[in-house]
Amino acid sequence: MENETTSISPAEVRILKNGPILIKGVFNFRDSSGKITSGEQELYLCRCGGSASKPWCDGTHNKIGVPD
């Protein structure tokens, strides 16, 4: 049997210029109802305060701007 090595990338958090917060990688995410989503994910979180689907980014920053 061959020895397989699994490489797991750590999660990365980036503040996107004039945009949302990007969280990308392998991690656990617990929402406000307590539901946990595990595994490789890419989440965009609002930082302009105008999203109608907070905490998720819905692109509103393109209309109202976001401070850097």
Domain extent at residue 56: 12-64
Query: Pick from 24, 6, 4: which is nearest to 14 by CA?
Result: 24
2 within a domain of the structure (yes/no): no
16 within a domain of the structure (yes/no): yes
10 Å CB burial of residue 58 (0-12, 13-18, 19+) is middle
Q: pLDDT 10s digit of each residue in the chain, 68 long?
A: 445 556 667 889 999 999 999 999 999 989 889 999 899 999 999 999 999 999 999 999 999 988 77
Number of domains in the chain: 1
Distance separating alpha carbons of residues 51 and 13, to the nearest angstrom = 19
User: pTM for this structure?
Assistant: 0.76
Q: Contact 9/27 with Cβ under 8 angstroms?
A: no
